[in-house]
Amino acid sequence: MKVEFVDLRREYQEIRESLRGQVEKVLSRGCYILGDEVQSFEQEFSDYIGAGHSIGVGSGSDALYLVIKALGIGEGDEVITVANTFVSTADAIARNGAIPVFVDVMEESYCIDTLKIEEKLTTRTKAILPVHLYGQPADMEPILAIANKYGLHVIEDACQAHGAEYRGQKVGGIGDVGCFSFYPTKNLGGYGDGGIVVTNNEMLANKVRVLRHYGQEIKNESIVLGINSRLDELQAAVLRIKLKYLDKWNGSRITAAALYNELLAGVEAIVPRERASTKHVYHLYVIRMKDRDNMRRKLSAKGIETGVHYPIPVHKQRSYLDMGFKEKLETTEKICGEIFSLPMYSLITEKEIRFVTDAIKETTGGNGG
Ligand SMILES: *Cc1c(COP(=O)(O)O)cnc(C)c1O
């Protein structure tokens, strides 16, 4: 048996028939950029998150980049974020000429340690950018309280957390603005790149809308220096169909995670811990083991693919060392040598999960399986 880290063909098989019709409709209509599909999807996604405005863009990275630009954050400004994330989070800050200021994460959630934010604030701090990592919401209440106290923007990186909830509210709609990616492997993914910005702030929404489209509001009139970054009609048509399945597919991920938890009880591994009053949507199922590399090798030999998210924290990446980053982040640097991600996607089967956990038990020699 082989267990792939993710198998995107299964979701495709489930929606194949409805996709065919939609794709044909878009191709026949003859409008491929900024047409009805994008507009409808933006509305449907706003409704899903519970926010006033959505702007479809070219990727999650561009969503973050454009939001920071639209907020007027640039040269010399600082943005509080984490190093235990995909590098794109911090890149969006640095590419705007601003400085990512890294705060350590909590051992329980792998998300930003809210007790360590205030000590990193300076007069140049403009925003806090928490990441809802692996599908688990960051602790938004203290973040909003700090932001409120110091007059900072809150930008949510919800690229791994479509449908996740914090105290009954969908993430991405809790701070000033949320950013999502539709990269194919995300909980809601297209068949190419895509992203979206979600906000209740109409002025900010309008700015992002102009920036994604060459800085133009009216054809051939550039009012600010913009870029070309739009969600295309085909991706929007696909996403409109997949959005209808999101809750169901997230539910399957949650069931899969619960089964992993149950089967891994008794193994010397730290399984994901969910904070009370949150809905974790398990973009990734991340566990921690002391001899991680050895375990991954053994699983690979048995046909099981695993991943590490992420092996090198952002501040230790070559590009960031070259920019002069040299802080020490104790928990971030400790966990990156122990964490690894087991196969997880909406349509993974119970049999596959049992195969993975049996293999882990055989390798640790514990608990028979
Ligand atoms: C995927 C991801 C991004 C970037 O999204 P792209 O669409 O790949 O550009 C940013 N932040 C996080 C946390 C991500 O997981």
Would you state the pLDDT for residue 305? Answer: 98
Would you state the pLDDT for residue 137? Answer: 98
AA letter at 292 = R
Atom of ligand 1 nearest to the CA of 88: 10
Residue 363 Cβ inside 6 Å of ligand 1? The answer reads no
Does the pLDDT value for residue 147 go beyond 80?
Answer: yes
Return the percentage of the chain with pLDDT > 70, whole number: 99
3-state secondary structure labels for all residues of 89-111? HHHHHHCCCCEEEEECECCCCCC
Does the pLDDT value for residue 198 go beyond 70?
Answer: yes
Q: Helix, strand, coil shares of the chain as percentages rounded to 5? A: 40, 15, 40
Ligand 1 atom 14: residue of nearest CA: 159
Does the pLDDT value for residue 204 go beyond 80?
Answer: yes
Q: Choose among 20, 54, 18, 22: nearest CA to 39.
A: 54
The span from the CA of 48 to the CA of 45, in Å, is 5
Does the pLDDT value for residue 342 go beyond 80?
Answer: yes
Q: Choose among 305, 339, 338, 47: nearest CA to 198.
A: 47
Ligand 1 atom 2: residue of nearest CA: 159
pLDDT tier, 225 (very low <50, low <70, confident <90, very high otherwise): very high
Atom of ligand 1 nearest to the CA of 283: 15
Over residues 67-123, the pLDDT tens digits come to 999 999 999 999 999 999 999 999 999 999 999 999 999 999 999 999 999 999 999
Would you state the pLDDT for residue 369? Answer: 41
Over residues 155-193, the pLDDT tens digits come to 999 999 999 999 999 999 999 999 999 999 999 999 999
Q: If you measure from the C-alpha of residue 268 to the centroid of ligand 1, how many angstroms do you get, rounded to a whole number?
A: 31
Residue-by-residue DSSP string for 10-51? HHHHHHHHHHHHHHHHHHHHT--BSSHHHHHHHHHHHHHHT-
pLDDT tier, 366 (very low <50, low <70, confident <90, very high otherwise): low
Q: If you measure from the C-alpha of residue 351 to the centroid of ligand 1, how many angstroms do you get, rounded to a whole number?
A: 30
Region 141-153: mean pLDDT is 98
Residue 229 Cβ inside 6 Å of ligand 1? The answer reads no
Q: If you measure from the C-alpha of residue 163 to the centroid of ligand 1, how many angstroms do you get, rounded to a whole number?
A: 16
φ/ψ of residue 307, rounded to 5: -135, 175
Residue 59 Cβ inside 6 Å of ligand 1? The answer reads yes
Would you state the pLDDT for residue 365? Answer: 75
Q: If you measure from the C-alpha of residue 366 to the centroid of ligand 1, how many angstroms do you get, rounded to a whole number?
A: 37
Mean pLDDT for all residues in the chain: 97
Residue 83 Cβ inside 6 Å of ligand 1? The answer reads no
Whether the model clears a pTM of 0.75, i.e. scores above it, the answer is yes
Best substitution site from 84, 86, 155 to test ligand 1's pocket, by max atoms within 8 Å of Cβ?
A: 86
The span from the CA of 179 to the CA of 161, in Å, is 10
Ligand 1 atom 6: residue of nearest CA: 60
Best substitution site from 136, 180, 181, 281 to test ligand 1's pocket, by max atoms within 8 Å of Cβ?
A: 181
Residue 89 Cβ inside 6 Å of ligand 1? The answer reads yes
Does the pLDDT value for residue 199 go beyond 90?
Answer: yes
In the numeric block, the tokens 């811990």 are attached to 273
Region 193-199: mean pLDDT is 98
In the numeric block, the tokens 């069931």 are attached to 255
Would you state the pLDDT for residue 368? Answer: 44
Over residues 26-70, the pLDDT tens digits come to 999 999 999 999 999 999 999 999 999 999 999 999 999 999 999
Phi-psi region of 112 (alpha: psi -120 to 50; beta: other; left: phi over 0): beta
Q: If you measure from the C-alpha of residue 272 to the centroid of ligand 1, how many angstroms do you get, rounded to a whole number?
A: 21
- Cβ neighbour number for residue 205 with a 10 Å cutoff: 22
